[in-house]
Amino acid sequence: MSRLWRRWSFDFSEDLTQMKKIARDPILLSAILLCIVSLSIFVVFPLYKVLQQSFFNPDGTFSLEAYRLLISSEENLKAFSNTLLLGTVVGILATAVGFLFAYCYIYLAIRGKKLFNLIAMLPMISPPFAVALSIILLFGSRGFITNTLLGLRDANIYGLKGLILVQTLSFFPIAYLLLVGMLKSIDPSIEDAARDLGASRWATFRRVTLPLVAPGIANSFLLVFIKSVADFANPMAIGGNFATLATQIYIQSIGNYDVQGGAAVAVLLLDLSMLLFIVSKYWVEKKVYITVTGKASRERLPIREKIVVWPIAGTCYAISMIVLALYILIPIGSFIKLWGINYSLTLDHYRYAFGVGSKAIFDTTWLSLIATPITGLLGMVIAFLVVRKRFIGKGFINFASLLSIAVPGTVVGVGYILAFNTPPIVLTGTATLLVVAFIVRSLPIGIRAGVSSLQQIDPAIEEAAADLGASSRQIFFMVTLPLIKTAFFSGLIYAFIRSMTSISAVIFLITAKYNLITIAVLDQVESAKFGVASAFSTILILIVYLAIFITNRLLSRLGAGSKKIELS
């Protein structure tokens, strides 16, 4: 007991001395305050409103009415079980495919492995509907394969099977990237030792390799599950009557004007996501055996036996080709007059997109351009504070920025309506709120990039600068930021892409005044105008590519040398 007390008072006095230090440094102090205040208002407060709304009647009395409706509503229960089913199936499939790709990449002697990284990158830089749209173009009622080639009259890809296909193809790169990292960090000499002790290749895989990456597999399942559960765009586009919690929130609060009911569903989705996220973060990640510190003692000898290589590599190549084909289909579709009926070429869809849709293109781009530098800088500042400084409130900043990773976009959307519709802060319908939503949604990636590159930099370098007379602002801008320049710029790119392609949160916030490309695509898909949808998607992809191109040019001008931005 007295030990605990001593420990606690030690922590407290330590915090206090650090705070005294910070109080003498007004710039550091204001940076910390700025982060705490903005995270409180734009991350924590809306979620609090969601919780509050679900517990109170509109007249302000406490009530569990929303929850009674929630569990008595057949629709909501169905959406809940649908969500779990979809998440589980997609989690398993995407992890399996991702593992196959990762194993292929790390272990097999094959050519063209770079293709896998390209495939893994595609879902990240494309509009949220890309795969769904292509699948509809191929397998829908007027699909190229189902209708044109096979002549089927009533092919129906909408619903669970379509969703499973689309989500698996969209989310397996998450599993791939995670598992490549894990497999790469296994010291090959561990597997050599197993072989040396008499294990066959299969036995080595089953008894050594697989147990070593088991936590990674569990984690990738959870991450894909979270992603699937939070996914809004695909269920909207290809879900048909298969409602999930994410779409249910939207339908309830926007379609039925029942924000309280929507909030109750949102709480359910929030709880589910948070639970999975906590399990992933604090339980699965603790179980990782592999230490990533030391360098592998030597190169791994790739497997050349045809009996192993051919089936695995063959499957991966086939899937890669399908994914590539799906993405190529979108620009093709944008030039086809009437998909499934009239395959003649036309520019009509672009005329429409640049005519009626020009406002959406323009609004999306400039709002994203405003959000991007703020996100980038804020992300680096938060990363710097979290990695390098000790202060009261650091736990909060950590928690709030993790929170914005775990919370599904639709929950944020409902929260923003609830939080910013009434005083003290009225922002609904303004461009400001859209920009804020963009920032909050893409901030975690910027922070993560900053944190991981800061952790690779010897803190002594910053101490040396302080020792030579640099203030904390001078250290950040003269030493830290130049050193994490590459992470900073890839953070910028990610932020821009995320903003350009975001839909789930902002769909709750748009008004007639501002429109966004992703929402225009959704409208076109819902009214079965796939040509225009494809044209919008193609334009979106081109803008994103242009941004990547310009940033890379800028980076080489700034002398980052051959260090191109790696989108992985």
Please identify which residue in 62, 460, 557, 566 interacts with other proteins, judged by CB under 8 A. Answer: 460
Alpha-carbon distance of 396 to 388, in angstroms, equals 15
- Counting contacts by CB under 8 A, is residue 8 touching other proteins? no
- Please name every residue paired with 303 in a beta bridge, in sequence order, or none if there are none: 108
Positive or negative: CA dihedral 162, 163, 167, 170: positive
| Number of helical H runs and strand E runs in the chain | 26, 2
Instruction: Give the ranges where 282-357 is alpha helix by DSSP (H).
Output: 306-334, 348-355
Please identify which residue in 278, 466, 528, 550 interacts with other proteins, judged by CB under 8 A. Answer: 466
Asked whether the beta carbons of 389 and 28 are under 8 A apart, the reply is yes
Please identify which residue in 12, 17, 302, 452 interacts with other proteins, judged by CB under 8 A. Answer: 17
| Distance (Å) of CA 421 to CA 49, 198, 391, 461 | 11, 68, 34, 47
Asked whether the beta carbons of 80 and 245 are under 8 A apart, the reply is yes
- Counting contacts by CB under 8 A, is residue 292 touching other proteins? no
Please list, in sequence order, all residues whose beta carbon lies within 8 angstroms of the beta carbon of residue 484, skipping any fewer than 6 positions away.
380, 383, 450, 453, 454, 457
- Counting contacts by CB under 8 A, is residue 33 touching other proteins? no
Give Cα 388 distance to the centre of its chain. 26
Alpha-carbon distance of 332 to 438, in angstroms, equals 30
Q: Given the DSSP bridges, would you call strands 336-338 and 342-345 parallel, antiparallel or unpaired? A: antiparallel
Asked whether the beta carbons of 462 and 479 are under 8 A apart, the reply is yes
Q: What's the min distance (Å) between Cβ of 39 and other proteins?
A: 25
- Counting contacts by CB under 8 A, is residue 468 touching other proteins? yes
Asked whether the beta carbons of 536 and 524 are under 8 A apart, the reply is yes
- Counting contacts by CB under 8 A, is residue 14 touching other proteins? yes
Among 20-28, 185-193, 242-250, 513-521, which window interacts with other proteins (CB under 8 A)? 20-28
Q: What's the min distance (Å) between Cβ of 477 and other proteins?
A: 12
- Counting contacts by CB under 8 A, is residue 479 touching other proteins? yes
- Counting contacts by CB under 8 A, is residue 11 touching other proteins? yes
Please identify which residue in 469, 512, 562, 566 interacts with other proteins, judged by CB under 8 A. Answer: 469
* Helix or strand (DSSP H, E) at 343: strand 342-345
Give Cα 300 distance to the centre of its chain. 32
- Please name every residue paired with 514 in a beta bridge, in sequence order, or none if there are none: 511
Residue closer to other proteins by CB (options 12, 343) is 12
Among 11-19, 113-121, 269-277, 293-301, which window interacts with other proteins (CB under 8 A)? 11-19
- Counting contacts by CB under 8 A, is residue 474 touching other proteins? yes
Asked whether the beta carbons of 446 and 530 are under 8 A apart, the reply is no
* Helix or strand (DSSP H, E) at 336: strand 336-338
Among 75-83, 204-212, 368-376, 471-479, which window interacts with other proteins (CB under 8 A)? 471-479
Residue closer to other proteins by CB (options 332, 483) is 483
Please identify which residue in 77, 461, 550, 554 interacts with other proteins, judged by CB under 8 A. Answer: 461
Among 51-59, 318-326, 421-429, 455-463, which window interacts with other proteins (CB under 8 A)? 455-463
- Counting contacts by CB under 8 A, is residue 154 touching other proteins? no
Q: What's the min distance (Å) between Cβ of 479 and other proteins?
A: 6
Please identify which residue in 2, 24, 59, 202 interacts with other proteins, judged by CB under 8 A. Answer: 24
Please identify which residue in 15, 19, 25, 84 interacts with other proteins, judged by CB under 8 A. Answer: 25
Q: Please return the burial class of 567, using the count of CB atoms within 10 Å of its CB with bins 0-12, 13-18 and 19+.
A: middle
Q: What's the min distance (Å) between Cβ of 15 and other proteins?
A: 11
- Counting contacts by CB under 8 A, is residue 10 touching other proteins? yes
Q: What's the min distance (Å) between Cβ of 22 and other proteins?
A: 10
Q: Please return the burial class of 301, using the count of CB atoms within 10 Å of its CB with bins 0-12, 13-18 and 19+.
A: exposed
- Counting contacts by CB under 8 A, is residue 1 touching other proteins? no
Q: What's the min distance (Å) between Cβ of 464 and other proteins?
A: 4
- DSSP character at residue 261: H
3-state secondary structure of 291: coil
- Counting contacts by CB under 8 A, is residue 15 touching other proteins? no
How many residues of this chain bind other proteins (CB under 8 A)?
31
Q: What's the min distance (Å) between Cβ of 220 and other proteins?
A: 29
Please identify which residue in 21, 206, 287, 351 interacts with other proteins, judged by CB under 8 A. Answer: 21
Asked whether the beta carbons of 221 and 91 are under 8 A apart, the reply is yes
- Counting contacts by CB under 8 A, is residue 463 touching other proteins? yes
- Counting contacts by CB under 8 A, is residue 354 touching other proteins? no
- Counting contacts by CB under 8 A, is residue 464 touching other proteins? yes
| Distance (Å) of CA 369 to CA 366, 372, 413, 516 | 5, 5, 21, 13
Alpha-carbon distance of 6 to 139, in angstroms, equals 67
Please identify which residue in 398, 471, 552, 568 interacts with other proteins, judged by CB under 8 A. Answer: 471
Please identify which residue in 2, 3, 111, 423 interacts with other proteins, judged by CB under 8 A. Answer: 3
Please identify which residue in 1, 2, 5, 20 interacts with other proteins, judged by CB under 8 A. Answer: 20
Among 164-172, 349-357, 443-451, 470-478, which window interacts with other proteins (CB under 8 A)? 470-478
- Each residue 387-426 as x (binds other proteins by CB under 8 A) or -, in order, gives ----------------------------------------
Please list, in sequence order, all residues whose beta carbon lies within 8 angstroms of the beta carbon of residue 46, skipping any fewer than 6 positions away.
412, 415, 416, 418, 419, 420
Give the interface with other proteins as residue ranges (CB under 8 A): 3, 6-7, 10-11, 13-14, 17-18, 20-21, 24-25, 458, 460-461, 463-471, 474, 478-479, 482-483, 485
